[in-house]
Amino acid sequence: RGKVPRFLLVVDKVGDKEEILGVVSVDEVLGRMEPSAGSMEELPIFWQGQFYQECESLFERTSSEIMSPVTRVIHQSGTLMEAVHLMNSGKFDWLPVVEGEDVVGILLKEDLFKEVLAATESEGGAG
């Protein structure tokens, strides 16, 4: 198996335009697999095969039942400092990169950190 994504971006393509509908993250998927703590009156009971039953029940849901809205994007022409600000102010680990109304990529915090490291190396290195 290859690298597993931390999230899936849900888009709707209408004609030649893509509209971002939301995002399904690892936390949202795993969170939907068990009842919330408030709904459990006693200690939870787990049984053999429960994990796979919960996986099957997830397949019966639509992405709109699981996804969260995407509240921030960065334009392809945006600056790295703008990306830093958007991520820090909203506590985001990633941002969709858009050109017009089309999604053209995803910018991760790790991508920004690589740029920080590259910038410090080009300035004589950190030491």
Please say if the pLDDT value at position 47 is more than 90: no
Count H helices, E strands: the chain? 5, 5
Banded pLDDT at 40 (limits 50, 70, 90): low
pLDDT given for residue 114 in this prediction: 95
User: Rounded distance, CA 45 to CA 38, Å?
Assistant: 15
C-alpha separations of 57 from 5, 61, 66 in Å: 21, 7, 12
Between strands 7-14 and 17-25, the pairing is antiparallel
pLDDT given for residue 2 in this prediction: 77
Q: Where in the chain is the domain with CATH 3.90.1280.20?
A: 72-127
Please say if the pLDDT value at position 89 is more than 90: yes
% of the chain surpassing 90 pLDDT: 40
What CATH code would you report for 72-127? 3.90.1280.20
pTM over 0.85: no
Residue count (the chain): 127
Banded pLDDT at 5 (limits 50, 70, 90): confident
Please say if the pLDDT value at position 73 is more than 60: yes
Q: Which amino acid is located at 9 in the chain? A: L
